[in-house]
Amino acid sequence: MQGTAGEGVKWSSRAAFILAAIGSAVGLGNLWRFPYVAGENGGGAFVVFYVICVVLIGLPVLVAELFIGRRGGLSAVGSVVKIAKAEGRSTLWSLQSWFGMIGSFIILTFYSVIAGWVLAYVVMIGGDLVSAIASDGLGGLKAGAFAGQTKAEVSAKLTDLLSDPARMIIYHGIFMVGTVAIVARGVKGGIEQAVTILMPAFFVLLLVLFGFALVEGDAPKGVDFLLGVRLDDLWAGVKNGSVISAALGQAFFSIGLGSALMATYGAYMTSEQNLPKAAGVIALTDTAVGVIAGLAIFPIVFAMGLDAGGGPTLMFQTLPLAFYGMPGGGVFGLLFFLLAFFAAITSSIALLETSTKWVDEQSKGDHRFKAAAIIGLVIFAIGIVNALSQVPTVGANGEDQTTFWNTWQPLGGMALFEGMVLLDFLSATTDIILPVAGFITAVFAGWIVSTSTAREAIGFKSEVWFQRWRFLIRYVCPTGIFIVIVYSIIIAPMIG
């Protein structure tokens, strides 16, 4: 069993850290959230604002979180407390890490449910593919996903899954057991071993699906939608603050900023590792994966004449219909959902690690297994309620499926959370928590931590680049995040 960072545990190599950090960032935020948010916000214009947010806000905050973790060498909370004391500042600055750790915990309560849906689709498509091969030999590999079923039946797959809470809970439970098992084994015995297998497999699958989309999909239309930039669209995005707000929210959710995640992983970095370069690789890779995922999804969607702005159901309703109608869709549909599953598990172990590390640290001993198991059990229990909140009130045959859980709106009286059942409410809550934590992180790193400490802790090889980072983290990041928070919490609900 591995101990805590405070006991000297470090990543075994730079490659191990990079794979783990990229794995924590690359997840359903790239494969599920990025495509549908881009689709809802106009495609190319959204991508431009997203890249700007990553470069001017996401990357500087990422550097700050990593150096806080490496400098402190403890949990996200413990690292901020340690640095604040060394700077002669109040330990209340650890509030940012508390926000982040709580945010990670909340995210995993619904993230694991959605990951369970992914696992369910792996089983469904895989089972149908095996049946097609059994009946038609190798010719079954040419069949579309869900071969032999009707289009209406394929379209109803998600509704059928949501209408079966027992099945949702089982898949959610399986996913959480896997997550806990990896985290409980520690940094080197669990997390490192998992990411060194899963991440290379992830990238191979992503490239295979990207190639499939370019050959079988409507590549020109997909590329134009996602990367085509028009001045009118950009100006409309500037006037419509929701696009910029969505872009920053996606940057935080995708990279894992404000969630205490990167500070936790940063604690396992050695002093020899190039922190600025690592941050750049993580941010660039995460952004590239989101764009490539979009380029693998939209050509397929457009080729089948489906709606690119399908919202959160894009991955679970629109894509299965696309794979259903395409030659070889069974194989590539299975590969896509396996890709999503790999992405989900590498992110979930990082989300669980943030709170597990803190609890293990407080216990003054090696209680990682117990900490991971107890926290995982609580997350599983809350996840059950999240799953129940997604059951449709009306079944496929028109039967009434109304319960307390799928009608309860925790803060439905507020414009910001109007109409939101529990899972949607928790998701919207983290969209606020993460930027708030990011704002406090920027202020802490830019104004509370001394210039000399920051310079030494980060290790920029060029003073010019350090000064650029210092300017961004002090002025651009807090201002930009604050404006988006105000817009999201106050202005958007009023005009929406």
Q: Confidence band (pLDDT; 50, 70, 90) for 3? A: very low
Nearest to 263 by CA among 131, 357, 170, 387: 357
Could you tell me the pTM of the whole model?
0.92
* CA–CA distance, 254 with 270 (Å, rounded to integer): 25
Mean pLDDT of 371-394: 96
Residues in a beta bridge with 394: 400
* CA–CA distance, 42 with 53 (Å, rounded to integer): 17
Q: What is the pLDDT of residues 273-286, one digit of tens each?
A: 999 999 999 999 99
Cα dihedral 477/480/483/486 (nearest 10):
-50
| The pLDDT of residue 117 | 96
Predicted confidence (pLDDT) at residue 4 exceeds the cutoff of 60: no
The tokens describing 445, both together, are 């790193």
Q: Cα dist. 150→157, 352, 396 in Å?
A: 11, 40, 15
158: left (phi over 0), alpha (psi -120 to 50) or beta: alpha
- Scored b (16 or more CB within 10 A) or e, 17-34 reads bbbbbbbbbbbbbbbbbb
The amino acid at residue 57 is I
Q: What is the pLDDT of residues 204-220, one digit of tens each?
A: 989 998 998 888 889 99
How would you class 149 by CB atoms within 10 Å of its CB: exposed for 0-12, middle for 13-18, buried for 19 or more? middle
Helix and strand numbers (H, E) in the chain are 24, 0
Least trusted range by pLDDT, from 135-139, 153-157, 419-423, 447-451? 135-139
Number of domains in the chain: 1
| CA angle, residues 411, 415, 421, in degrees to nearest 5 | 40
| The pLDDT of residue 64 | 97
DSSP run (H or E) holding 259: none
DSSP run (H or E) holding 109: helix 95-136
Residues in a beta bridge with 400: 394
The tokens describing 273, both together, are 């590792």
Q: Are 439 and 62 in contact (CB under 8 A)?
A: no
Q: pLDDT > 90: what percent of the chain? A: 57
| The pLDDT of residue 458 | 96
Residues 6+ apart with CB under 8 A from 192: 11, 12, 16, 20
The dihedral built from the CA positions of residue 43, 114, 318 and 135, taken in this order, carries a sign that is positive
Q: Are 109 and 386 in contact (CB under 8 A)?
A: yes
Range of the domain at 274: 5-495
The amino acid at residue 224 is D
Mean pLDDT of 90-117: 95
* CA–CA distance, 78 with 98 (Å, rounded to integer): 10
Q: What is the pLDDT of residues 219-259, one digit of tens each?
A: 998 888 888 877 776 676 666 667 778 888 888 878 888 89
Nearest to 261 by CA among 386, 371, 193, 358: 358
Q: Cα dist. 330→66, 133, 148, 477 in Å?
A: 41, 10, 11, 45
Mean pLDDT of 60-66: 96
How many CB atoms are located within 10 Å of the residue 87 CB? 14
DSSP notation for 171-197: HHHHHHHHHHHHHHT-IIIIIIHHHHH
- Look up the CATH number of the domain holding residue 476: 1.20.1740
| The pLDDT of residue 413 | 85
Nearest to 48 by CA among 207, 173, 215, 233: 233
| The pLDDT of residue 36 | 76
Q: Confidence band (pLDDT; 50, 70, 90) for 2? A: very low
The amino acid at residue 281 is V
